[in-house]
Amino acid sequence: MTTRRTFLKASSAIYPATILTPLAAKAQSTYQAPKTFQRDYFKEIGVTPLINAAGGYSAFGGARMRPEVAEAIRYGTYNKAKVDDLHDAVGKRIAELAQTEAAMVPSGATAAMVLSTAACMTMGDKGKIEQLPDTTGLKNEVIIQKNHRYTYDRALIVAGAVLVEVADEDELRKAIGPKTAMMFWLLANHNPDGDSINMETYLAIAKEHNISTYLDGATMTPPASNVIDACNLGFDLVGFSGGKGLRGPYSTGLLLGKKDLVAYARANSSPNSRSLGRGMKVAPEEYIGMMIAFETALGINEKEDFARKRTIFSRMSDQMKNVPSLKQNVIVDEGMVNELYLDLDWDRSIIKMSNEEFIQELKAGNPSIRFRALKFAGGRIHVSSTALDEGQEIIVGKRINEVLMNRV
């Protein structure tokens, strides 16, 4: 398990792609997902499949579920139980695994934010729950640091709350009042603006005024033990995506923390028909899928998993080793999220192709292969193995070789 100190530090290391550690690929799952199917649905309806070399991005279908998760989902489609009973039991098990008071499975990290805001505004009051998103007479302000404003913060106003931006400790103290429902914190691996208020101070001020706190840690896995660490930071509620680094079902997440607040979040959600979150429904089989995804992810030995990913990159690299000027380095991103990427770079005077052209050409090809130029890495191309199926690394390497050699 990572300690809080390593959890909060951020650094990265670079290694040549060809150097391999001798660790065997033991982290590979024991189950094998079926590769052949009776019908090809994509083909039947004219959908172009893609190979995702970019990572677990929502637009590309999220992460690849481990076979254990697919198996759990299959179980859940056959075996039925009362949804609330199932959710109680799944929540209890997830809370045990995360070593925290309580947990639920929302339909993603976004839903976790909506439901948590609703929870903090209504505190289990049935009348208030049914009143949302009308917040007349309710505490309806969510405090957020200016630096923490981001794409997903709309989720904080969906339930009817308004955002109150603060830039420093002084502004924070002034912003707190009788209308304050929740104080929000964004935990990110690459937050360019950083935190303008120190986390300990933020939490201490919240405690002083008895205000509930929420931490968005959506992308802060792997390792899955980061979920445990995040629960120990001192926030009342913590949210994660299920379909990103935890490799659970696409439309799931984790909401963990204080028992009463998690219960209030659930009261604002499906299957409660009169709740704001009724539409943020999670299938019963996905509850089990998320639980098993978390359990499986916690059991992954990080060193072995890194060794497995290095092997994948090494096989990929072999396919393009003759491309002149192509530099291939395995980058170890050792922030809160520990992840390996294959960084690609070439001499533009030898291979006349820009990163953007590279991305477009591989996207347009057959098979279509998706990459992303990473903003936090200065627009460089980082290949991710997270969403690749076994053997796809060879196809990807061969296509990159072809595309680049064409421009030499």
Site residues, ligand PLP (CB under 6 A): 58, 108-110, 152, 188, 216, 218-219, 241, 253
Of residues 241 and 328, the one with the C-beta less far from ligand PLP: 241
Taking the complex as a whole, how short is the minimal distance between the CB of residue 332 and ligand PLP, in angstroms? 21
C-alpha angle 246-4-248 in degrees, rounded to nearest 5: 5
Of residues 174 and 375, the one with the C-beta less far from ligand PLP: 375
C-alpha–C-alpha distance, residues 382 and 261, integer Å: 39
Of residues 248 and 397, the one with the C-beta less far from ligand PLP: 248
Chain residue at closest Cβ approach to ligand PLP: 108
Taking the complex as a whole, how short is the minimal distance between the CB of residue 290 and ligand PLP, in angstroms? 11
Taking the complex as a whole, how short is the minimal distance between the CB of residue 192 and ligand PLP, in angstroms? 13
Of residues 108 and 222, the one with the C-beta less far from ligand PLP: 108
Taking the complex as a whole, how short is the minimal distance between the CB of residue 241 and ligand PLP, in angstroms? 3
Taking the complex as a whole, how short is the minimal distance between the CB of residue 64 and ligand PLP, in angstroms? 15
Q: Which of 232, 227, 288 is nearest to 69 (CA)?
A: 288
Instruction: For residue 164, list its beta bridge partners.
Output: 143
Taking the complex as a whole, how short is the minimal distance between the CB of residue 22 and ligand PLP, in angstroms? 35
Sort 160 into a burial class: Cβ within 10 Å, 0-12 / 13-18 / 19+: middle
Of residues 255 and 396, the one with the C-beta less far from ligand PLP: 255
Of residues 269 and 319, the one with the C-beta less far from ligand PLP: 269
Find out whether 317 and 19 touch, Cβ atoms under 8 Å: no
- Provide the Cα torsion 235, 241, 246, 248; round to 10°: 130
DSSP for residue 222:
S
Find out whether 88 and 224 touch, Cβ atoms under 8 Å: no
Q: Which of 299, 338, 290, 375 is nearest to 54 (CA)?
A: 375
Instruction: For residue 333, list its beta bridge partners.
Output: 12, 339
